[in-house]
């Protein structure tokens, strides 16, 4: 499964879009709207943006019940979302820019530009299960796979391992799958592996590394090219500092 338009920002095409005779707004006068993933990822993103010179005091107010937060001076608008919804907001133009995990980007497979690895939120997407399942993987036998990420699991087994599987979509603790014999193995995110170990499971194969990524709406990349390229450049400098 290919992530659509995963390209360096320098290779993203830029064109000229006319908005009509009655619309005399310049791109630099418009807001950039940024969708953030709720929780720790949002905090890490705002810390990184602060190092890049972008701020939003409203977003730091823990008592606020607002849904949209604005920096009027820098013409930035932020909102918080569940991770799987961020690519949707960006694809349909509700947000110009989004930050979420590469696991979600791969699973959702939306029409967006993935422009920057933010170098935090790191973990691994793995195949895990009891040690006895290792032989099933080695001999490419028909197996049942439980996962919150059915598209990633299908791509890994079908296209990379050429192994036939039965996918079982779970939304909760996928580690239960092998324990109660619902599935032979699971495909899930692994950080430390402690939960797996405590339940008699282990990492059997690594699918891919995971980290937080920045994505951009395709139309915004054309209509607001200057602002977005400057934004990406400053954030990249902060990542590499």
User: Under DSSP, is residue 62 helix (H, G, I), strand (E, B) or coil?
Assistant: coil
Render 184-234 in DSSP notation, one character per residue.
SEEEEEESS-HHHHHTT-EEEEEEEEE-EEEEE-HHHHHHTHHHHHHHHHH
CATH 3.40.190.10 range(s) for the chain read 9-16+30-121+211-240, 123-209
Which token pair is 121?
């939120």
Burial status of residue 74 (CB atoms within 10 A of its CB: 0-12, 13-18, 19 or more): middle
How would residue 3 be classed by pLDDT, with cut points 50, 70 and 90? very low
Q: Which residues pair with 99 in a beta bridge?
A: 36, 214
pLDDT tens, position by position, 170-220: 999 999 999 999 999 999 999 999 999 999 999 999 999 999 999 999 999
pLDDT tens, position by position, 37-87: 999 999 999 999 999 999 998 887 777 778 899 999 999 999 999 999 999
- The more confident residue out of 14 and 185 is 185
Per-residue burial over 163-198, b if 16 or more Cβ lie within 10 Å, else e, is bebebbebeeebbebbeeeebbbbbbebeeeeebee
Q: Give me the architecture of the 9-16+30-121+211-240 domain, per CATH.
A: 3-Layer(aba) Sandwich (3.40)
- Which positions ≥6 away from 49 have C-beta within 8 Å? 55, 235, 238
Which token pair is 49?
């943006």
**What's the topology of domain 123-209?**
D-Maltodextrin-Binding Protein; domain 2 (3.40.190)
pLDDT value of position 19? 36
């Amino acid at each position: 499964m290919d992530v659509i338009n995963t390209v360096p920002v320098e290779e993203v095409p830029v064109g000229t879009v006319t908005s009509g005779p009655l619309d005399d707004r310049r791109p630099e006068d418009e807001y950039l709207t940024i969708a953030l993933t709720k929780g720790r990822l949002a905090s890490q993103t705002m810390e990184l943006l602060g190092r890049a010179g972008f701020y939003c005091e409203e977003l730091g107010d823990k008592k606020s019940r607002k849904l949209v937060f604005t920096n009027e001076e820098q013409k930035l608008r932020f909102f918080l979302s569940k991770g799987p919804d961020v690519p949707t907001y960006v694809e349909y133009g509700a947000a110009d820019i989004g930050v979420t995990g590469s696991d979600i980007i791969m699973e959702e497979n939306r029409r967006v530009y993935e422009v920057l690895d933010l170098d935090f939120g790191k973990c691994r997407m793995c195949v895990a299960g009891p040690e006895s399942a290792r032989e099933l993987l080695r001999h490419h036998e028909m197996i049942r796979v439980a996962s919150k990420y059915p598209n990633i699991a299908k791509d890994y087994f079908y296209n990379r391992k050429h192994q036939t599987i039965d996918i079982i979509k779970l939304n909760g603790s996928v580690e239960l799958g092998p324990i109660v014999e619902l599935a032979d193995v699971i495909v899930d995110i692994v950080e430390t592996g402690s939960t797996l170990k405590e339940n008699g499971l282990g990492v059997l194969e690594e699918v891919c590394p995971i980290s937080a990524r920045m994505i951009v709406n395709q139309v915004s990349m054309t209509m607001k090219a200057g602002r977005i390229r400057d934004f990406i450049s400053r954030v990249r400098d902060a990542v590499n500092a």
